[in-house]
């Protein structure tokens, strides 16, 4: 029998040295854990998301009533009950404390989407019920999309009838991706979606990512069209050309990010004809170049997310430009490439290594270096 040995050293961030508690007071941006008292019971603040007040059960006896009656300067109780005093403000989430005027709430780094009216969300249809669709939007409950809130194909404006109810699966069926807006948030947390205007609708072929909703910056426009430099092959020589490929990007506030060809983003909106009809006009090299550009955007977003960087249009575009510049630089210095990164794929029978320029963005070292470049560029721009 051997005695139990200690756990081996881990190559992880030393969280313990950074996790010291705060000083005697909680301020804006302090890191808190659940159960911590951030303010005492005399603070006249409103508890928000992630905070709660504990009810003091010991203050309901007669002595407390007499002492509060004798002392007229005692603060009036929040509940209006003379016997029950408001307790301390505790936190119930791990995150950072935010204090806005008299509201105190906690921002968790990773949570599910809880819904705001007017947010653009990307969702996937999981069920078709009578007169409504059930949509998964990465929230605590499924969202509802009523038949009365969607646009008809062709854009005609009329009331929905029973024929439309029977034809609901021809509009959108299970598994389809949609982009919609939050119309209403019910009391139990259910979201009611709607599709106003021409910016919402069904999405065509593309790529769906799921990241924490706190990493998406809140902006006015969540539907972007990026100009990505064209690259014809993954492992061949890079031909320098000024051609760009238009890639659509929809940053949903719920953490779902859709990226795909801008053609699919435009055609899908408004429940128009299927996207496959237009594929006949494009040839194979065009489709391959388009797909490589979409995959570059996807891998850049994953690199930003894994390193804790927020995702918005400028950061995604800067990351794509940085990865494009790194591709050209690595082509010139072949020895430096093989020395620094070992993500090359041995495909040729002669032993020479081929490089997948898109897949290597998922390597942790390459991703960290890319995020460092993006942060430096954004800092110099601002």
Partner 1 sequence: MAEIFYNGRRVDGRRPNEIRRVDCQFGSGYSDGIVFLHQGNTKVIASVVGPHAPRVKGDGTPDGATITCQFTKPPFASTSGERRKLSSKDRSANDFATAIEEIFSCVIRTEKYPMSQIDIFLEVIQSDGSEFACAVNATTLALTDAGIEMDCLVSAATVGLWGSHVFADLCRFEENPRISQLTVVCLPNVHLLSGVNTEEQIGQWKSQPQILHTRLSSWLPVERLQPLITEAVKVAQTLQKEFSYWLRGRVRSGFITR
Per-residue mark of binding to partner 1, 234-273 (x: CB under 8 A): ----------------------------------------
Among 27, 29, 279, 376, binds partner 1 (CB under 8 A): 29
368 lies in the site for partner 1, by CB under 8 A:
no
DSSP-assigned states of every residue in 197-259: TTS-EE--S-EEEE--GGGBPP-S--EEEEEEE----SSSPPP----EEEEEEEE-TTSEEEE
Which of 27, 40, 329, 338 touches partner 1 (CB under 8 A)? 40
User: Could you tell me which of 115, 109, 110 has the C-alpha nearest to residue 144?
Assistant: 115
Question: How far is the C-alpha of 124 from the C-alpha of 5, rounded, in Å?
Answer: 48
114 in Cβ contact with 140 (< 8 Å): yes
Binding to partner 1 (CB under 8 A) within 185-224 occurs at: 188-189, 210, 217
Site string for partner 1, 290-319 (x = CB under 8 A): ----------------xxxxx---------
> Which residue do the tokens 């948030």 mark?
185
Q: How many chain residues touch partner 1 (CB under 8 A)? A: 62
197: DSSP letter: T
Residues in CB range of 359: below 8 A, 6 or more apart: 299, 343, 345
Give the separation between CA 358 and CA 121, rounded to whole angstroms. 27
The reply to whether 83 sits near partner 1 by the rule CB under 8 A is no
Q: Is 360 exposed, middle or buried (0-12, 13-18, 19+ CB in 10 A)?
A: buried
Query: Is 118 a residue that touches partner 1 (CB under 8 A)?
Result: no
Task: Out of 141, 167, 185, 378, point to the residue binding partner 1 (CB under 8 A).
Answer: 141
Does residue 10 bind partner 1 (CB under 8 A)?
Answer: yes
Which segment (7-15, 225-233, 260-268, 339-347) binds partner 1 by CB under 8 A?
Answer: 7-15
Residues that bind partner 1 in the complex, under the rule CB under 8 A: 1, 3-7, 10, 12-26, 29, 31-40, 50, 52, 56, 58, 88, 90, 92-96, 108-112, 136, 140-142, 188-189, 210, 217, 306-310
């Amino acid at each position: 029998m051997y005695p139990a040995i200690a756990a081996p050293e881990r190559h992880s961030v030393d969280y313990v040295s950074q996790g010291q508690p705060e000083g005697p007071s909680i301020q804006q941006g302090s890191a808190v854990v659940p159960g911590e008292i951030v303010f005492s019971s005399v603070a006249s603040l409103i508890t928000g998301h992630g905070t709660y007040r504990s009810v003091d059960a010991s203050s309901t006896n007669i002595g407390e009533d007499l002492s509060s009656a004798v002392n007229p300067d005692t603060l009036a109780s929040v509940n209006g009950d003379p016997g029950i005093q408001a307790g301390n403000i505790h936190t119930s989430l791990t995150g950072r404390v935010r204090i806005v005027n008299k509201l105190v709430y906690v921002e968790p780094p990773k949570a599910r989407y809880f819904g705001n009216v007017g947010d653009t969300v990307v969702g996937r249809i999981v069920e078709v019920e009578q007169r409504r669709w059930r949509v998964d939007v990465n929230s605590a409950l499924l969202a509802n999309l009523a038949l009365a809130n969607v646009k008809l194909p062709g854009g005609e404006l009329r009331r929905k009838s029973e024929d439309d109810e029977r034809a609901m699966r021809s509009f959108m069926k299970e598994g389809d991706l949609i982009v919609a807006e939050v119309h209403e948030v019910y009391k139990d947390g259910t979201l009611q979606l709607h599709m106003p205007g021409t910016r919402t609708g069904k999405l065509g072929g593309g790529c769906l990512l799921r990241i924490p909703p706190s990493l998406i910056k809140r902006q006015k426009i969540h539907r972007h069209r990026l100009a990505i430099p064209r690259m014809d092959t993954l492992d061949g020589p890079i031909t320098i050309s000024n051609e760009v490929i238009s890639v659509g990007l929809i940053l949903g506030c719920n953490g779902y990010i859709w990226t795909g060809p801008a053609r699919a983003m435009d055609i899908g909106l408004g429940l128009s004809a299927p996207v496959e009809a237009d594929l006949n006009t494009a040839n194979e090299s065009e489709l391959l170049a388009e797909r490589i550009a979409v995959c570059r955007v996807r891998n850049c977003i994953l690199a930003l997310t894994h390193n804790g960087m927020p995702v918005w249009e400028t950061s995604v575009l800067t990351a794509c430009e940085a990865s494009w510049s790194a591709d050209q630089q690595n082509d010139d210095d072949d020895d430096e490439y093989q020395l620094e990164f070992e993500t090359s794929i041995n495909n040729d029978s002669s032993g020479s290594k081929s490089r997948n320029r898109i897949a290597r963005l998922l390597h942790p070292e390459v991703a960290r270096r890319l995020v460092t470049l993006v942060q430096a560029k954004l800092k110099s721009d601002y």
